[in-house]
Amino acid sequence: MVCATRERMTIRRCVLPPSHKVLGRSRRQYLPLVYVVFALGMGGLLLPSALRPPPDPAQTSNALDPNAPPNHNPNQILESLQQAGGGGAGAGIGNGHKPAPTPSSQASSVIASPTPSTPSLQYCYGSPPRQIPSIYAAACRGAWHGDNGGATAFNVFPNEIRIGIENAGLPAGRLPDPSTNNAQTSAGTQTFQALQAYFNSHYQFYGRRIEFYGAPDPADSTADSYAANAKLLSDTYHLFLLSEVRVGVCEDAANNHVIAFCDSTYHDNYVKHDPYLYTYDVMEYEDVLRYMSEFVCKSLAGKKAQYAGAALSGRPRKIGILAYQGLEGGIPGSRFSDALTKQCHLPSESATLNGLQDTQGATAAIAKFQADGVTTVILNPGDVNTLLAMESAGKTGYYPEWVQLGTDSLDVSGIAELLPTEESAHLFGISGLEWPMHFVNTECARAVQSINPNLQASASACAFWWTQLVWMANGIQEAGPKLTPASFRQGLYGVGYKFSLTPWMMGGGYGPGVYSFPHSVSLIWFNPGVLDPTTGNPGAYEYLFNGAKFQLGQLPANTDQFFKTGAVVAPDSCKPSSSPC
């Protein structure tokens, strides 16, 4: 296998030999791949393929010149959240601690904000009034007139704010103007054009516009290439914000004063790069360990392996942990073992793979787990390593319980669909992602439709970037006219925490010392026999407890309903015929 690899939720250019299925690495990657696979009528595709969204060949030569400047104390946290009405505008958490478990009865609202007498862009939505219909949106702002301060920070221009988007299948450089579109212009490119227009027409950016840029990949997976790539994004593209997956590139971008929304890393790394480094759809590693240990110790420890294959089912659970660490990042398996020991004195054995595509290591780890009688494998090795491990297990008839933690693309149905069915039939765990809806009812599809009624929005663009872009827009708006990295950070804090406002939403937010968004999880299990509501392909996750999200301290001890009950699709909270939700 020949791969240029990177960090956990990262995207790689990776060619798998013909004996392997193709598996994407990141949430931002799987949908384009799945669509290509099934469009070719090859659901179990065994051909070599690049594990990233394909470029848009019709537009790669049309990119504009990027050089031209434009004309944890839980009781304290719980108390603060309760005082703030369960989170919301102005509900900071202080003291650098993590958000504490918030009782669901107190986590259903944000602080009410008065409706401006003159909304900044004519409309407010919902109650309390929001800037756009999105449940994640900042409070609606009043009209503004005045001096925005011009170039208030590095790569902030008087009339423009540039946002780089990596691995979106966009041409490198400035997003082409819709007037240049032709029959070959991809739905992904047109979707980002519509989203750019939507945010500019709906958010208060104080005399500036956001402009999207396609952020190219590094030449290879080396420190020098990462640094060179970050320099390109900073000094040639002049980005203020970056959506990226490689932690190495994000760190280099942060060192070059570009704000990066990236994959998981350690808390100290966020602090080191404050205010330039954040994570959106996954937790920082320390939170991963907290949720993992609570889930395993409450729900699995001391019970029989009822979800394993026939040879292991009914045995007392024995825990194995499969993780990775390498140039791309990662976290060693020993950290998971230590967390389980600390939480409930639960013994476990662990294996740490060398990077994200470690065939030899995955095979050896599975052989050892099988020989040692491990019934339950906790997964944090990256999705390609998961594929390798499951294939190796299947060859010897080893079907343990596979427990995913929401730290990986494995909690996305489109990724789990590509795993060996005999193994994925034993896959379950936790996820901080939204409970999926039919695509037409999503916030993003509705936003795109409002700009371009004739466009069928790209599901991958919406699935991977919509909510992250909403939070970027929130931070810019709430920063006020004098935009800087520090005021952007305060803008994120000002939006506060949002929990349980709909049955399907992600729950979380940003605050002092809190750099990753998700702070609640659902319980899910993979059902190969149902259809994915996003792609229509076979295989999707079932959500227990009507999609309920649980914060730390709230995870239920009784989870006997895995592989018995659940719901694939969330209630359609945003029907096209209804008023904005």
In a domain, 104, yes or no: no
Higher-confidence position of 59 and 397: 397
Same structural domain, 166 and 203: yes
In a domain, 61, yes or no: no
Same structural domain, 306 and 408: yes
Same structural domain, 432 and 474: no
Span 141-184, pLDDT tens digits: 999 999 999 999 999 999 999 999 998 899 999 999 999 999 99
Span 398-430, pLDDT tens digits: 999 999 999 877 899 988 999 999 999 999 999
Same structural domain, 207 and 312: no
* Domain, as residue range, for 382: 285-436+519-547
Same structural domain, 396 and 304: yes
In a domain, 65, yes or no: no
Among 204, 205, 227, 180, which residue's Cα sits nearest to residue 58?
Answer: 180
In a domain, 120, yes or no: no
- Tell me how far apart the alpha carbons of residues 61 and 212 are, in angstroms, rounded to a whole number: 16
172 bridge partner residues: 214
The domain tally of the chain equals 3
Residue 412 C-alpha from the chain's centroid: 10
Same structural domain, 420 and 489: no
Same structural domain, 253 and 273: yes
In a domain, 121, yes or no: no
Q: Are strands 13-15 and 156-157 parallel, antiparallel or unpaired?
A: unpaired
Assign 399 to helix, strand or coil. coil
Span 315-370, pLDDT tens digits: 999 999 999 987 677 899 999 999 999 999 999 999 999 988 999 999 999 999 99
In a domain, 313, yes or no: yes
For Cα atoms 324, 326, 327, give the angle at the middle one, nearest 5 degrees. 145
Same structural domain, 312 and 367: yes
- Tell me how far apart the alpha carbons of residues 432 and 414 are, in angstroms, rounded to a whole number: 16
Same structural domain, 406 and 539: yes
Same structural domain, 268 and 246: yes
In a domain, 411, yes or no: yes
CATH code, 235: 3.40.50.2300
**Mean confidence (pLDDT) of the chain:** 82
Dihedral, CA of residue 232, residue 233, residue 239 and residue 241, to nearest 10: -160
| pTM to 2 decimal places | 0.81
In a domain, 197, yes or no: yes
Residue 580 — very low, low, confident or very high, per pLDDT cuts 50/70/90?
very low
Span 247-266, pLDDT tens digits: 889 999 999 999 999 988 99
How many residues in the chain? 581
354 bridge partner residues: 325
Residue 17 — very low, low, confident or very high, per pLDDT cuts 50/70/90?
very low
Same structural domain, 400 and 367: yes
pLDDT at 575 over 70: no
Same structural domain, 306 and 407: yes
Q: What is the pLDDT of residue 573?
A: 55
Residue 463 C-alpha from the chain's centroid: 9
Q: What is the pLDDT of residue 438?
A: 85
